[in-house]
Amino acid sequence: MIFNKIIEILKSKTRNKIRIKNNFKKIEKKRSDKLYAIDGGNCLIMDGGTWYLSKIRISCVTYDNGKKIYNKKETETIVLVHNEGLRNNKKTVIAEELNLPEFDFKKIKFEEIIGYVRKYLELKTGLKKLKEMKNGETLLIDGLLACELEENKKIVKKMIEIAQKNKINLVGFAKTTRMLKNGRNYLSIVKNTGDELGLKKWVYALNENEALVKLNENSNRVFRIQYFGDLKNISEILCFYSRDKSILGYPYPLLKADLTARISRREAKSEKNRTILFLKKMGLKEVEQDLLSQDLHKKLDEIAYK
Amino acid sequence: MNAENNVVGQIISGNVSKIFIRIKNNSEVDVGDILICEEKNAKYYIKIIDLNISSQLENQFIEEIAGNNLEYEEDSMLFDEKDRFYKIGCGKILKIQTLGFHPPRNLPKHFSKVRRVKEKDFEFLKENKGVEIGNLRLGMKSLENIKVKLPSNELVSHHMLVVAATGRGKSNFAKVFIKGLMEIPEVSSIIIDPHGEYYGGRGIIGLSHHPNRKNLRFFTPRFTEYPESEELRIHAQDLEPNDFFGIVDLSGAQKEAMQLFYRKFKEEWLSNMLKMDIQSLEKMSEGRVMRSTIFTLKRKLNNSLELNDGEGIVFSLKKREGTSIFSKIQKAVCEGNIIIIDTNLVGDEAEKIISSSITTRIFNYYRKEKQANPKRFNTLPELLIVFEEAPRVLGIDALAKGTNIFERITREGRKFKVGVCAITQMPSLLPKEILSQMNTKVILGLPAPSDREAVINSSTQNISDESVEIQMLDRGEALITSPFLEFPLPVKIHYFNDLIKKSRKEKTMIFGFG
């Protein structure tokens, strides 16, 4: 019964063919110019209810002419997120040796704060790299450039200024996109239309600084990018770097940056044990019991995955 | 090549039995290679026993990549290929060198660099005095400047086993080793040569082509064809019943009959037994030997000695004039000579009687000298008896006929400075006790698993991880295990013909300039 209903809904959604503007540009060349890719990873170490400890790692990789010339963990830090009081809703973030601004987290969910801090650190790393970069080079950041948080917006603004001044391509690359048109996935509509037109690699401009891209003829993946710079150049460079056989159609340097930044479950566990030991040493034995009483999900997950 | 270029990998994990090395891309490390991991106070000698291809990607992605390779030829490549796809070497620590060599009771650290060997790493081999048999071999490569010597003085009386499938270079090794012994006066050797390949001539390069052949003696039935040879002739009067026991298939009654006639006729026992008629012999035995026994015994002995009207290729019923062959060989041994006994023209049993009778006389002489004249015994050279097709005299089937002199030497020879060098392609036919007495083993490629197992299980050094390497050994490539070597050494054996050519050239040059 339920499936009949699903089929009925889906049929109604796909019944009408959605027409889109022909904004397609075929990507005909590949450029192997220097490309910087930045990504971050984070994990939860401890959740104390009104506070949690997380680890964030930001990495940057650089490729030139297809060869890796730089691969480094740029930032690695433990972050404490603290809800000072439920009445005043004041949430603070403390990270050792990082000069973090006073964020305004009022509208942001407590558990999502760490994601915003990570984005902030990614953008800060991007800004630092942009200052080192030269004309014609490309900076690729995981995720779109549009930000909710005021502090992040400020950094993006600075980044755009430097990129435009020095003629550097600045690209935000979204791994996941939820764009709908008439209740349907817009990326899929654009992809199907591209296929109908017989296009194999293309760029589809959404607006002045936004586009959808399909970067490899043997891949079905379409991504959304936000960019500042020459779209033709950008698409040709992305196209060159999206030919890795393990992940056709996705820029390999971003994968490499992700792998470098990623914090494994094992590493998170080790950080947790280290922290518990430290807290015990400092006379805070109750913390371990607090943590044990809160959440059994992780333990169940571990058992299930063995 | 600087030190960094020499680095081929880094230690990533392992234990004292097996250690894993991430191999640097394009380093061309092979199974059998010896690598060095040098730390502050220790140098680890690591042998590669296996190689794996590995990747940071999960199998399903690797399969996907292979699929992409097969289905889409264009518009794809592998970024960071060297980082993501590589080889992992599985090694075993042979020894740790600190001030001396020690068994592996410790491990190198994570990420310790592993490099190729240098000449300096094998300087300890230069300290070995003895016979140069080849170059150190690393995988398929032979290191021309690292020579491997076998310490002949220690090794000879501790017995050797040379094993290989057909065509892998057993005889070549034996010739190379004996050539080396020719240059050492403290060692003597008797080579039983059933295939006529050691002395040389008629298009075959042999030991006679060695420029320094003055201590080479050749006993052959074809003495007229070889100007420097001596006749191999054994007279019946020099043989004893024991020379047949354990060689010829004899019943208890037949053995007793031989002993009886030996007591009766003394040195004429054999010629009388073969010349006299059955009735006379029966009469002589005073009824203690049955007619049928005498009949069978006469037939067996006649066949074994390959006699025709009292004369054979080697054996003769005629009365000897002059010195016996045994005395001649004994004298030659005492003088530190290398003696080749040509048994090419005789059959299997006759050959065994020849080798057994000669070996028995020499071994008994050494034994007697040790007891009666220890001073004289100490001056005697070490003696190595070399024989091919070892299972014929040391095999399980052969020993079922009773013990023989070769088996006795493997057990007792060491005390009397007498050793055997048994050559075979089927070591699995030899009993475990015999195999484990062969302290030095020269292994030259054994495809049969049972033969490999027999050799591996009886080796004084642990070579249980080298089974694959032993199987893959190519012609002239050997693995040598010996208590007199620091660890099992992979060797590329010299090619005998090249050695002879080189020796002759060197001698010509010395004379030329001299």
Chain B residues in contact with A256 by the CB 8 A cut-off are 79-80
Are A55 and A266 in contact by the 8 Å Cβ rule? The answer is: no
Q: How many CA atoms lie within 13 A of B42 on its CB side?
A: 17
C-alpha B214 chain-centroid distance: 24
Residue with tokens 């090694």: B91
ipTM entry: 0.78
- Residue A137 backbone zone (phi > 0: left; psi -120 to 50: alpha; other: beta): beta
Confidence of residue B5 (pLDDT cuts 50, 70, 90): low
Name the residue with higher pLDDT: B201 or B324: B324
Q: Which of A218, A246, A248 sits opposite B57 (nearest CB)?
A: A246
Select from B16, B24, B25, B28 the least CA-distant residue to B108: B16
Residue in A closest to B77 by C-alpha? A244
B143: which strand partners?
B136
Three-class SS of residue B301?
helix
Select from B177, B197, B200 the least CA-distant residue to B189: B177
| pLDDT higher than threshold 70 for residue B508 | no
- What pLDDT does residue A179 have? 82
In chain B, pLDDT over 70 holds for what percent of residues? 97
B61–A contact, CB cutoff 8 A: yes
Tokens of residue B273, six digits? 């037994």
**Subunit contact B75:A245, Cβ cutoff 8 A:** no
Distance from CA of B14 to the nearest CA of A (A): 21
Distance from CA of A165 to the nearest CA of B (A): 31
A244–B contact, CB cutoff 8 A: yes
| Interatomic CA distance for residues A5 and B502, integer angstroms | 93
Residue in B closest to A71 by C-alpha? B80
In chain A, pLDDT over 90 holds for what percent of residues? 58
Distance from CA of B2 to the nearest CA of A (A): 24
B132: which strand partners?
B149
B69–A contact, CB cutoff 8 A: yes
B47: which strand partners?
B34, B92
Pairing of strands A169-174, A138-142: parallel
- Per DSSP (E only), the strands in A169-288 are 169-174, 180-181, 184-185, 202-207, 210-214, 223-228
**Subunit contact B79:A244, Cβ cutoff 8 A:** yes
CB-CB neighbours of B441 under 10 Å: 25
Confidence of residue A296 (pLDDT cuts 50, 70, 90): low
| Interatomic CA distance for residues B119 and B134, integer angstroms | 15
**Subunit contact A218:B78, Cβ cutoff 8 A:** no
Residue with tokens 């992780």: A298
Residue in B closest to A254 by C-alpha? B79
CATH of domain B150-232+324-493: 3.40.50.300
| Interatomic CA distance for residues A125 and A115, integer angstroms | 15
- What pLDDT does residue A106 have? 80
Angle at B305 (CA atoms; ends B303, B306), nearest 5 degrees:
60
Amino acid making up residue B124: F
Instruction: State the best of A61, A244, A255 to mutate against chain B, taking most chain B CBs within 10 Å.
Output: A244
Select from B58, B82, B10, B11 the least CA-distant residue to A71: B82
Are B353 and B267 in contact by the 8 Å Cβ rule? The answer is: no
Chain B residues in contact with A238 by the CB 8 A cut-off are none
Confidence of residue B115 (pLDDT cuts 50, 70, 90): very high
Pairing of strands A180-181, A169-174: unpaired
B81–A contact, CB cutoff 8 A: no
| Helix ranges (DSSP H) in B224-341 | 252-265, 269-275, 278-284, 291-304, 325-334
Are A63 and A54 in contact by the 8 Å Cβ rule? The answer is: no
Residue with tokens 């070995």: B128
Are A55 and A43 in contact by the 8 Å Cβ rule? The answer is: yes
CB-CB neighbours of B196 under 10 Å: 18
Are B415 and B380 in contact by the 8 Å Cβ rule? The answer is: no
In chain B, pLDDT over 90 holds for what percent of residues? 64
Chain A residues in contact with B61 by the CB 8 A cut-off are 246
- Domains belonging to chain A, first-starting first, are 20-263 (3.30.2170), 267-305 (no CATH)
Distance from CA of B109 to the nearest CA of A (A): 21
| Interatomic CA distance for residues A135 and B274, integer angstroms | 109
Instruction: State the best of A246, A250, A252, A254 to mutate against chain B, taking most chain B CBs within 10 Å.
Output: A246
Confidence of residue A180 (pLDDT cuts 50, 70, 90): confident
Three-class SS of residue A245?
coil
Are A139 and A38 in contact by the 8 Å Cβ rule? The answer is: yes
| pLDDT higher than threshold 60 for residue A305 | no
| Interatomic CA distance for residues B321 and B344, integer angstroms | 25
**Subunit contact B79:A248, Cβ cutoff 8 A:** no
Select from B379, B380, B407, B382 the least CA-distant residue to B393: B407
Residue in A closest to B73 by C-alpha? A218
**Subunit contact A244:B77, Cβ cutoff 8 A:** yes
B472–A contact, CB cutoff 8 A: no
Distance from CA of B56 to the nearest CA of A (A): 11
Distance from CA of A246 to the nearest CA of B (A): 5
Select from A262, A69, A65, A32 the least CA-distant residue to B83: A69
Judging by beta carbons within 10 Å of its beta carbon (0-12, 13-18, 19+), is residue B401 exposed, middle or buried? middle
Distance from CA of A120 to the nearest CA of B (A): 29
pTM, rounded to two decimals:
0.75
- What pLDDT does residue B76 have? 80
| Interatomic CA distance for residues B470 and B31, integer angstroms | 11
Chain B residues in contact with A217 by the CB 8 A cut-off are 74-75
Residue with tokens 């199907």: A192
| Interatomic CA distance for residues B201 and A215, integer angstroms | 76
Chain A residues in contact with B83 by the CB 8 A cut-off are 68
Phi then psi dihedrals of residue B279, to 5 deg:
-60, -45
- What pLDDT does residue B14 have? 95
B86: which strand partners?
B54
A248–B contact, CB cutoff 8 A: yes
Residue with tokens 């592993």: B114
C-alpha A218 chain-centroid distance: 24
Residue in B closest to A64 by C-alpha? B79
Please compute the mean of the pLDDT values over residues A198-206 and round it to a whole number.
94
pLDDT averaged over every residue in chain B: 90
Distance from CA of A247 to the nearest CA of B (A): 9
Please count the residue pairs, one from chain A and one from chain B, whose beta carbons lie less than 8 angstroms apart: 44
A256–B contact, CB cutoff 8 A: yes
Tokens of residue A243, six digits? 């030919």
Residue in B closest to A29 by C-alpha? B75
Distance from CA of B85 to the nearest CA of A (A): 12
| pLDDT higher than threshold 90 for residue A284 | no
Residue in A closest to B85 by C-alpha? A246
Select from A113, A170, A166 the least CA-distant residue to A143: A170
Q: Which of A63, A66, A218 sits opposite B68 (nearest CB)?
A: A218
Residue-wise pLDDT tens digits, B340-388: 999 999 998 999 999 999 999 999 999 999 999 999 999 999 999 999 9
Are B422 and B387 in contact by the 8 Å Cβ rule? The answer is: yes
Distance from CA of B65 to the nearest CA of A (A): 5
A52: which strand partners?
A47, A81
A224–B contact, CB cutoff 8 A: no
B114: which strand partners?
B9, B37
- The four Cα atoms B364, B369, B372, B377 give a dihedral, to 10 degrees, of -160
Are B438 and B482 in contact by the 8 Å Cβ rule? The answer is: no
Q: Which of B61, B69, B77 sits opposite A243 (nearest CB)?
A: B77
Confidence of residue A231 (pLDDT cuts 50, 70, 90): very high
Please compute the mean of the pLDDT values over residues A215-236 and round it to a whole number.
94
Select from B161, B92, B138, B155 the least CA-distant residue to B459: B161
Amino acid making up residue A247: I
Residue-wise pLDDT tens digits, A182-200: 777 888 899 999 999 999 9
What angle, rounded to 10 degrees, do the helices at B252-265 and B291-304 form?
A: 80
pLDDT averaged over every residue in chain A: 89
Please compute the mean of the pLDDT values over residues B34-45 and round it to a whole number.
93
| Interatomic CA distance for residues B18 and B41, integer angstroms | 21
B65–A contact, CB cutoff 8 A: yes
Are A178 and A155 in contact by the 8 Å Cβ rule? The answer is: no
Three-class SS of residue B274?
helix
CA distances from B489 to A134, B194, B274, B330, B506 (A): 57, 30, 53, 35, 28
Confidence of residue A304 (pLDDT cuts 50, 70, 90): low
CA distances from A112 to A41, A93, A106, A125 (A): 14, 12, 12, 21
Are A205 and A22 in contact by the 8 Å Cβ rule? The answer is: no
Are B481 and B459 in contact by the 8 Å Cβ rule? The answer is: yes
Question: Considering only residues 200 to 219 of chain A, which have any Cβ-Cβ distance to chain B shorter than 8 Å?
Answer: 216-218
**Subunit contact B65:A245, Cβ cutoff 8 A:** yes
Question: Mean pLDDT highest for which of A83-87, A254-258, B197-201, B486-490?
Answer: A254-258
Residue-wise pLDDT tens digits, B66-110: 887 887 666 788 889 888 999 999 999 998 888 888 888 899 999
Chain A residues in contact with B71 by the CB 8 A cut-off are 218
Q: Which of A238-252, A276-290, B41-55, B225-239 has the lowest mean pLDDT?
A: A276-290
- Per DSSP (E only), the strands in B194-260 are 216-220, 230-231, 234-235
Pairing of strands A51-64, A35-47: antiparallel
Contacts of A165 (CB under 8 A, 6+ apart): none
A250–B contact, CB cutoff 8 A: no
Chain B residues in contact with A244 by the CB 8 A cut-off are 76-79
Confidence of residue A293 (pLDDT cuts 50, 70, 90): low
Which is it for the CA torsion A104, A107, A110, A114, positive or negative?
Answer: negative
C-alpha A212 chain-centroid distance: 16
Residue in B closest to A248 by C-alpha? B76
Select from B254, B246, B303, B245 the least CA-distant residue to B274: B303
Q: Which of B57, B68, B80 sits opposite A248 (nearest CB)?
A: B68
Name the residue with higher pLDDT: B429 or A102: B429
What angle, rounded to 10 degrees, do the helices at A150-165 and A113-132 form?
A: 20
Distance from CA of B67 to the nearest CA of A (A): 9
Residue-wise pLDDT tens digits, B400-423: 877 889 999 999 999 999 999 999
Residue in B closest to A218 by C-alpha? B72
Q: Which of B61, B71, B83 sits opposite A246 (nearest CB)?
A: B61
**Subunit contact A218:B64, Cβ cutoff 8 A:** no
Residue ranges of the domains in chain B?
Answer: 3-127, 150-232+324-493, 238-304
Residue-wise pLDDT tens digits, B127-170: 777 899 999 988 778 888 889 999 887 888 899 999 999 888 99
Chain B residues in contact with A216 by the CB 8 A cut-off are 75-76
| pLDDT higher than threshold 90 for residue B397 | no
Tokens of residue A211, six digits? 């586009």
- DSSP letter for A191, please: H
A83: which strand partners?
A91
Please compute the mean of the pLDDT values over residues A97-110 and round it to a whole number.
82
